[in-house]
Structure 1
Amino acid sequence: MSVNSLVIDPETLLISADEAREFGKAAAPEYRSRSPYPYGCFDNFMPPEILDRVREELRSLPAAESFFNRPQEKLKAAYMPERLGPYTRALFHSLNSKAFLAFLEELTGIEGLIPDPYFAGGGIHVVSNGGHLDIHADFNHHGKLNLERRMNVLIYLNKDWKEEYGGSFEVWNDDMTAKVAGFVPIFNRMCCFNTGSSTWHGNPEPVNHPTGEPRMSIALYYYTATWDSTRESHTTLFKPRPGTKDTKDRLEARHRFLHNVLPPFIWRRLDGRLRKLGI
């Protein structure tokens, strides 16, 4: 059996577990061999009518749960699945299912992947014209569940998108001296990658659609129960690209300083308050 896309029923959104495993197994050698960390790009990832229905529901959006407009994260909004349309919600839950995890585990070789029922940081991401997300490594610890973050899945929703419209997903090397790969966020393209404290990636080139359409994507994150007391958690770590106008993240630097100098019980209380205030 040869499978080169996700076998998922457009009506029920049920995924064929056996075929998902075969899909992951076939793509695993190339995915795992990539450097500086494993990553993959899959075009025509699922039946296109599924994402067409999602796009239709996204014509009407509620207020965003989060909105970022600072130098490192500009004009980026996130929408939680539970407040979106029923078909979109169902797709998110399907992509958190055992069958989809079977695909990811075969692809990555990571056993015991755990989906996030809270969709922390995930959901529908919308970057408006002029917006971007600088190169970064993601937060590494799901505090509510005490899990280690291991993998990201991004599925793009943008029809007829061209490279000159900006917003391409980029992979950078360990020492931030060179871009390794770039992927235009075209409709029904899925990019995924293992995550760690030096898996540098982002979409740093500003969105510049000629008619003002935003860059839209589905974002899901997966974890393992491998966190322990020897590890140090961090939030998103940004890195400026050499030779660009990218700026250092002074907010995170301030947090790291306070984390290092304050007693742990005081830091835990202060950290949540600072982040809510954005300082």
Structure 2
Amino acid sequence: MLNQKTIDALDEYKKQFHQAKPFRYVVVDDFFTPEFCAQLLKQFPDFNDQDAIDENQTVGRKAVVQQVPEIGRAYRDLDRLVQSQAFINQVEHITGIEGLLYDPHYIGGGTHNNLNGQELDPHVDFTHHPITSHHRRLNLIVYLNRQWSAEWGGQIQFHKNPRLSPDEDEIISVLPLFNRAVLFETHNHSWHGFPPISLPEEHKNLSRKSFALYYYTHQRAQPVDPHSTIYVERPLSERFQTGLKLNANDVTELQQMIGRRDQHLKRLYTTITAQTKELSRIKAEVMRLKAATGTPDKQARLLQRQMELLSFDESRMFQRIQELENSTSWRITAPLRQIKRWFRRRGSH
């Protein structure tokens, strides 16, 4: 399945990975054998609205299928490949990151099908797996587009810092071409995304197809600040200058940008409210426990209340934390992450 050319060039890919800027990555063309990659494209899932429910609970223009082995035979073979120790050893050789762990849940991964008009704002990914709490270390993306042009947008872009002005930000663009793999490290400054897809009329039937997988480790030598996925909205186009007379397309673009920011703020406020209520309830319980006396009967009741407090709807809390993986501020999710890790440590004792 893996192209022999890829295996023979591992040392060269290792060199490219470690020399890359603005952070470590490598681009590998002809990643799989042509026959196997053709089967992946042939069995690629059609766009389904049920797979395109976004974080605002509306049908978006990106469909994701995470149940990779269920897609078809080629994807079952792919799933077996990416979790095999031989393949993981090759990825470790390129990156120098040892002890890589495959993610059977494909959280955030699987097949990605992006329609015309879809974009992905520059972002850094969540740093820890929402179920296992393992450290996220690498993204592996394989593109499945036989036709693609730079004028169509949708090329993955690596940023030095998207908060800088465009002339200061260091941006590397890579076209999402058929059988091209991109492997890059994830940490606090691995900013990446892609500009809006704008297909010409004669190619409106196409979509941006890819397969994504993320690797983890139990620990990491260089600590990172824990955070969920953090997005930075793109700056206004350079054409928006003093004296510009807005046309219909300009107005639409501005409305879309304002709409995205409004959705972001709505999610942020909802998150703050929910977490504040949860933490306030915990604080009230702790205060009641502190008020208990030291008599045997009271101690028994205190122990019972402690157990009730520690078992408060854990599944609901973990589900909420997982939903917050797409929020935009690690400062907000950090307290709940600490609580989550404490519960998991308690359960392993």
**TM interval, short-chain normalised:** 0.7 to 0.9
Counterpart Cα distance in 1 of 2:118 and 2:36: 27
Counterpart Cα distance in 2 of 1:169 and 1:51: 20
Greater strand share, 1 or 2? Answer: 1
Query: Could you list the per-position Cα deviations for residues 177-200 of structure 1 after superposition, in whole angstroms to 9, with x for gaps in the alignment?
Result: 224200111101111100012211
Residue 300 of structure 2 aligns with which residue? none
Bigger shift: residues 263-272 or 166-175: 263-272
Secondary structure of the structure 2 residue equivalent to 1:176: coil
Counterpart Cα distance in 2 of 1:161 and 1:263: 49
Equivalent position amino acid for 1:194 in 2 = E
Residue 190 of structure 2 aligns with which residue? 199
Counterpart Cα distance in 1 of 2:280 and 2:95: 35
How much does 1:257 deviate? Answer: 4.1
Counterpart Cα distance in 2 of 1:182 and 1:221: 20
Alignment length (residue pairs): 261
Unpaired runs of 5+ residues, structure 2, are: 238-253, 283-312, 328-349
Equivalent position amino acid for 1:215 in 2 = R
Residue 109 of structure 2 aligns with which residue? 122
1:225 and 2:218 equivalent?
yes
Bigger shift: residues 53-62 or 191-200: 53-62
Residue 12 of structure 1 aligns with which residue? none
How much does 1:77 deviate? Answer: 1.1
Q: Which of 173, 185, 199 is equivalent to 1:182?
A: 173
Alignment of 1:85-164 (within 5 A): 85-164=72-151
1:37 and 2:52 equivalent?
no
How much does 1:23 deviate? Answer: 3.3
* Contact 1:62–1:83 under 8 Å retained in 2: no
Counterpart Cα distance in 2 of 1:264 and 1:98: 46
Bigger shift: residues 187-196 or 259-268: 259-268
Distance 1:149 1:74, change over 3 A: same
Ranked by relative contact order (alpha carbons within 8 Å, sequence separation 6 or more), the top structure is 1
Unpaired runs of 5+ residues, structure 1, are: 9-15
Counterpart Cα distance in 2 of 1:69 and 1:165: 26
* Contact 1:23–1:103 under 8 Å retained in 2: no
Counterpart Cα distance in 2 of 1:144 and 1:161: 36
How much does 1:252 deviate? Answer: 5.7
* Contact 2:111–2:210 under 8 Å retained in 1: yes
Residue 272 of structure 1 aligns with which residue? 319
Residue 199 of structure 2 aligns with which residue? 208
* Contact 2:3–2:31 under 8 Å retained in 1: no
Distance 1:99 1:173, change over 3 A: same
TM-score normalized by structure 1? Answer: 0.79
Distance 1:255 1:234, change over 3 A: farther
Counterpart Cα distance in 1 of 2:15 and 2:72: 37
Q: Which of 161, 171, 183 is equivalent to 2:158?
A: 171
Secondary structure of the structure 2 residue equivalent to 1:142: coil
Residue 243 of structure 1 aligns with which residue? 236
Counterpart Cα distance in 2 of 1:208 and 1:69: 25
1:55 and 2:41 equivalent?
yes
Equivalent position amino acid for 1:220 in 2 = L
Secondary structure of the structure 1 residue equivalent to 2:209: strand
When the two chains are superposed, the root-mean-square deviation of aligned CA atoms in Å is: 3.4
Equivalent position amino acid for 1:250 in 2 = L
Quote the sequence identity (%). 28
How much does 1:43 deviate? Answer: 1.3
Counterpart Cα distance in 1 of 2:11 and 2:274: 42
Residue 68 of structure 1 aligns with which residue? 54
Counterpart Cα distance in 2 of 1:272 and 1:208: 37
Counterpart Cα distance in 1 of 2:134 and 2:45: 34
TM-score normalized by structure 2? Answer: 0.65
How much does 1:255 deviate? Answer: 6.5
